[in-house]
Structure 1
């Protein structure tokens, strides 16, 4: 038996299982769905990811604190540019000022227990760790003697994942034909719903009568003002004959006065004998 035959078979390197995603982790960045956490540093996160075509990758994404630092973002971009271009399968640009920067490193062979799968995962994780280390500057050698407290970034306590966007996609360069179609369909749907609401409101209230009728205002030419002033009968006067006897209250009196035409006539007063004044002026005649 030769030495080759007696050598035991070396098992393939076991690919470590990723930790479950936390509620604050994004479910998706770009075209990659995140499947679990591989490592966490103050600078960011390493995720195991897969796109819709079934290709696996390792996604390096900045944390909330480092993503808000312009110098840290610049170091992240420079570190991603130093990775071989054939290993970068996806990334966002520094144009997304409000989002955390990320880069997908791969392709990673699916976990099938072979050594090639473990090697591709290890290579992707090593490059992702170098990118996050460049943000922290923890691999820069110290110059001179170590004195005083250790250096620490002001944002290291903010270790939540950085801001991300699921929808809409970055405007307008990253929009695909499917995205344009979805936006167009959403606008058409909103327009149809608005028109349907207006039609329903018109059908409900078109035959409804007015609750309060409009006031009737006569035209100014036909307005007539009538003022009724009650009058009292004059007191009894002495007889014109000079006898000094008043006019009997029980008998009607007549008076003569010239008429406008020059003739004289009698106008009965019909004053009641009781001497009371009627409340209604029409009852006096």
Structure 2
């Protein structure tokens, strides 16, 4: 998190004194677990990280650049680490701390924004302000980690480690207002509108194909049964009637004498009273 010297930009005797001598280092891209926004600052990239927290490059709604220091979930859950963060921020001059959240946000990670940082106009003054803000953020996180406290006496025994050092994900944060769609750039807006147009076209084609498939479909026979509000189903049975001019045979009627039995069995009534079948 230090500036890189640019040999090509070093001033010479033939160049004016205000020639840019430093180049602001590029920040690493944000990771999926990084918050897109804390407070009124939109995060743009990572500048550094350790077990105590992260350093981000950020800008507010007006375009004012800043460096944001934010605690990890491990350090944010430790009351002593939170106190060290608050005391380190309070020890800085008021004009260099642009904003910070309250120490009473027990469920959120503490963060602080440092500046002011002028826009990168290619001069060394802008790079110096950026580096100075980074150094302030590093000092705050180092106070949480206590890695710059001078050792008193000789080293004995195992090295000291905080119990929360392995929990290095960014701490809990609250986003309000929501980052979408305010954080979209013009190119992102174009991609969003193209995606919405493609979705609308796909839905229209799907509806058209469904209409082509089912426009000539015959109605169901019998129609589907729709339950009533009382969860009862009414089924209407239509009896079949014989064609006009014909009579339906009665299976219980006995054959007329002299008429042949079509089944070929005897039509005589049994005389045995015990023979009922």
Please give the alpha-carbon distance, in whole angstroms, between the structure 2 residues aligned to 1:140 and 1:128: 17
Please give the alpha-carbon distance, in whole angstroms, between the structure 1 residues aligned to 2:13 and 2:177: 60
Map 1:250-261 to 2 at 5 A.
none
1:235-284 Cα shifts (integer Å, max 9, x gaps): xxxxxxxxxxxxxxxxxxxxxxxxxxxxxxxxxxxxxxxxxxxxxxxxxx
Q: Are the structure 2 counterparts of residues 111 and 5 from structure 1 closer, same or farther at C-alpha, using a change threshold of 3 Å? A: closer
1:122-146 Cα shifts (integer Å, max 9, x gaps): 1100100000000001111111111
TM-score between both structures, scaled by the size of structure 1: 0.57
Structure 2 residue aligned with 1:76: 85
Please give the alpha-carbon distance, in whole angstroms, between the structure 2 residues aligned to 1:68 and 1:211: 55
Say whether residues 1:135 and 2:144 are aligned partners. yes
* 2:85 aligned counterpart, secondary structure: helix
Q: Are the structure 2 counterparts of residues 135 and 209 from structure 1 closer, same or farther at C-alpha, using a change threshold of 3 Å? A: closer
Shift of 1:52: 0.4
Pick the aligned partner of 1:101 from 110, 125, 128.
Answer: 110
Please give the alpha-carbon distance, in whole angstroms, between the structure 2 residues aligned to 1:107 and 1:212: 74
Q: Are the structure 2 counterparts of residues 26 and 210 from structure 1 closer, same or farther at C-alpha, using a change threshold of 3 Å? A: closer
Please give the alpha-carbon distance, in whole angstroms, between the structure 2 residues aligned to 1:52 and 1:143: 46
Structure 1 residue aligned with 2:205: none
* 1:58 aligned counterpart, secondary structure: strand
Please give the alpha-carbon distance, in whole angstroms, between the structure 2 residues aligned to 1:51 and 1:84: 20
Pick the aligned partner of 1:16 from 2, 8, 25.
Answer: 25
Shift of 1:167: 3.2
Pick the aligned partner of 1:49 from 36, 58, 64.
Answer: 58
* 2:68 aligned counterpart, secondary structure: strand
Please give the alpha-carbon distance, in whole angstroms, between the structure 2 residues aligned to 1:212 and 1:75: 71
Map 1:1-285 to 2 at 5 A.
6=13, 11-167=20-176
For structure 2, the residue ranges without an aligned partner over 5 or more in a row are 1-10, 179-227, 234-277
Conserved 8 A contact 2:48-2:55: yes
Shift of 1:47: 0.2
* 2:98 aligned counterpart, secondary structure: strand
Q: Are the structure 2 counterparts of residues 152 and 210 from structure 1 closer, same or farther at C-alpha, using a change threshold of 3 Å? A: closer
RMSD: 2.2
- Choose 49-58 or 109-118, whichever is displaced more: 109-118
TM-score between both structures, scaled by the size of structure 2: 0.58
Please give the alpha-carbon distance, in whole angstroms, between the structure 2 residues aligned to 1:209 and 1:76: 64
Shift of 1:5: 8.2
* 1:46 aligned counterpart, secondary structure: strand
Structure 2 residue aligned with 1:175: none
Determine which structure has greater relative contact order: mean sequence separation of CA pairs < 8 Å that are 6+ residues apart, divided by chain length: 2
Conserved 8 A contact 2:114-2:137: yes
Shift of 1:211: 6.3
Please give the alpha-carbon distance, in whole angstroms, between the structure 2 residues aligned to 1:5 and 1:138: 40
Please give the alpha-carbon distance, in whole angstroms, between the structure 1 residues aligned to 2:177 and 2:125: 37
